Amino acid sequence: MNRRIDHIGLAVPSIAEALRFWSALGLAVDHVEEVPQEGVRVAMIRVGESRIELLEPTRPDSAVAKFLAGRGPGIHHLCLASDDVAADDARLRAAGVELVRAAPTPGAGGSRVQFVHPRSAGGVLVELAQASPGEAS
Ligand code: CO
């Protein structure tokens, strides 16, 4: 099993604004995409083998918009790469871990994702992401 940190998700009011800092560090955006089912626009910044994911809400009722309203900008979630997110889903359920969704769902970049509820993960929202077969991440 290949456990590594795929990315760290940061909630930001504006990707353009946030990029002033990250680009000053010499980092560049891989790609930007909208994930309409999540109500977010996502900018991925490669950092070595890992990535930073900037999450800008596109709807006031999205989870990221609510996070920003409640807590302000900051670290939103930690994402671990998964070789098989359906298997992780089943294993965690069997272990009594609380998952956010009934089953893995489509995520950014053609990935399949599931989230572990912060109640089951020491207060941290943990994303598990299985890359799309086409994407060597
Ligand atoms: Co993420």
* Confidence check: pLDDT of 136 > 70: no
Tell how far the Cα of 9 is from the centroid of ligand 1, in angstroms. Answer: 5
Tell how far the Cα of 39 is from the centroid of ligand 1, in angstroms. Answer: 13
Domain boundaries, the chain: 5-130
pLDDT tens sequence across 8-63:
999 999 999 999 999 999 999 988 999 888 899 999 999 999 999 999 999 999 99
Tell how far the Cα of 107 is from the centroid of ligand 1, in angstroms. Answer: 8
CB proximity list for 27: less than 8 A, separation 6 or greater:
45, 46, 47, 52
What's the pLDDT at 37?
84
- Three-point CA angle 75, 88, 97, nearest 5°: 70
pLDDT tens sequence across 61-117:
999 999 999 999 999 999 999 999 999 999 999 999 999 999 999 887 789 999 999
Distance CA 34, CA 84 (A): 24
| Buried-exposed string 50-74: b where 16+ CB fall within 10 A, e elsewhere | ebbbbbbbeeeebbbbebbeeeebe
Neighbours of ion ligand 1 (CB under 5 A): 9, 53, 79, 127
Q: Which CATH class is domain 5-130?
A: alpha beta
Amino acid at 111: S
Q: Which of 22, 12, 19 is nearest to 55 (CA)?
A: 12
Tell how far the Cα of 7 is from the centroid of ligand 1, in angstroms. Answer: 6
Tell how far the Cα of 94 is from the centroid of ligand 1, in angstroms. Answer: 24
DSSP E strands in the chain: the ranges are: 5-11, 29-35, 40-47, 50-57, 74-81, 105-106, 112-116, 126-130
pLDDT band for 1, please (50, 70, 90 cuts).
low
What's the pLDDT at 135?
62
Tell how far the Cα of 53 is from the centroid of ligand 1, in angstroms. Answer: 6
What's the pLDDT at 3?
87
